[in-house]
A and B are shown apart, each in its own frame.
Chain A
Amino acid sequence: MPKTKTKKSFLKKKSSDVEIKIKVSVENRKKIKKPKVAIISLTSCEGCQFALLDLGQKFLDFASSVEMVDFRLIEDEEDEEKTKLDLVLVEGNPVTKGNVKTLMRARKRSNLLVALGNCAAMGGVPEIKNYQERSNTIKHVYKYIQGVSNLDIKEIDNFVKVDFVFPGCPINSEEFLKYMPELLKNKIPTISDQPVCVECKKKGNRCLLLDKKPCFGPMILGGCDAVCPSSKMMCQGCRGLRPGGNIQAMRATLKNMMTDEEFENVSEIYGLRDDIEEKSVKMI
Chain B
Amino acid sequence: MQIKINHIAKMEGHAGFMASVLQGDVKSSKIEVQEGIRLIEGVLIGRHFKDMPVVAQRICGICPVVHNLTSIKSIENALGVQVSEETKKLREIMELGQIIHSHALHLFFLSLADFFDIENDLKLVEKYPEMAKKAMRIREYGMEIIKVIGGRVIHPLNNEVGGFKKIPNADALKKIVFSSKEVLEEAMVLGNFFKKIKLPDFSRETEYVSLSKSGKYAIYDGDIISNQGLHIPVLNFENNFQELQKQKEVIKRVEHNGKSYMIGAIARINLNRNKLRPEAHKYLESLKWKFPNYNPFNNILAQMTEVIHAIEESSYLIRQVLHCNLENSLTKSYETKEGSGAAAVEAPRGTLYYHTEIDAKGYIKNVNIITPTAQFLSNLEEDIAEYIPRIIKLKGKDRERKMRAFIRAYDPCISCAVH
Chain A interface (Cβ within 8 Å of chain B)?
Answer: 41-51, 53-54, 56-57, 60, 63-64, 68, 72-78, 93-96, 98-99, 124-126, 128-129, 132, 136-144, 146-151, 169-170, 227-228, 230-233, 236, 265, 269
Please tell me if the beta carbons of B12 and A74 are within 8 angstroms of each other in the complex: no
Tell me the nearest residue of chain A to B143, going by C-beta.
A54
CB contacts (< 8 Å) of B6 on chain A: these are 78
| B238: min CB distance to chain A, Å | 15
User: Which residues of chain B have a CB within 8 Å of any CB of chain A?
Assistant: 6-7, 9-10, 12-14, 34-43, 45-48, 51, 54-55, 58-62, 64, 105, 109, 113, 119-122, 125, 132-133, 136, 139-140, 143, 151-155, 157-158, 165-166, 245-250, 252, 366, 404, 415
Task: Report the separation of the CA atoms of residues A96 and B139 in the bound assembly, to the nearest whole angstrom.
Answer: 33
Complex contact B43–A125 (CB within 8 A): yes
Interchain CB contact (< 8 A) of A57 among B51, B109, B136 = B136
Q: Given A141-B42, A230-B151, A231-B158, do A74 and B121 touch, yes or no (CB 8 Å)?
A: yes
Cβ 8 A contact of B37, one of A53, A143, A150: A150
Q: How far is the CA of A75 from the CA of B38 in the complex (A)?
A: 26
Apart from A45-B64, A136-B42: 6 A-B pairs, beta carbons within 8 A? A47-B154, A72-B10, A93-B36, A95-B38, A144-B248, A236-B54
Q: A72-B7, A232-B165, A269-B51 are in contact. Are A45 and B58 (CB under 8 A)?
A: yes
**CA A233 – CA B6 in complex, angstroms?**
42
| Inter-chain contacts of B35 with A (CB < 8 A) | 43, 96
Nearest 8 interchain pairs by C-beta: A47-B61, A95-B36, A43-B36, A231-B157, A137-B42, A231-B151, A128-B43, A74-B121
Q: Can you identify 21 A-B contacts, CB atoms within 8 angstroms?
A: A45-B61, A46-B12, A46-B60, A47-B155, A56-B140, A64-B122, A74-B121, A75-B10, A78-B6, A94-B36, A96-B36, A138-B37, A140-B41, A142-B250, A144-B245, A146-B248, A149-B36, A150-B37, A170-B155, A269-B51, A269-B55
Q: Which of B122, B247, B250 sits near A74, CB closer than 8 Å?
A: B122
Residues of B within 8 A of A60 (CB): 122, 125, 132
Task: Note all chain B residues with C-beta closer than 8 A to A128.
Answer: 43, 47, 55
- A150 — which chain B residues lie within 8 A by C-beta? 37, 39
Q: Assess whether B34 is in contact with A96, with CB atoms less than 8 Å apart.
A: yes
Q: Which of B120, B133, B154 contacts A76 (CB 8 A)?
A: B120
Q: Name the residue of chain B whose CB is nearest to the CB of A229.
A: B157
A232 lies within 8 A of B166 (CB):
yes
A13 to B239 CA separation, bound complex (whole angstroms): 79
Contact A98–B43 (Cβ < 8 Å)? no
Give the complex CA separation of A112 and B34 in angstroms: 26
Report Cα–Cα, A57/B133, bound state, in Å: 8
Is there an interface contact between A148 and B248, defined as CB atoms closer than 8 Å?
yes
In the bound complex, CA of A73 to CA of B59 (Å): 17
Closest A residue by C-beta to B401: A76
Contact of B10 among A74, A125, A149, A228 (CB under 8 A): A74
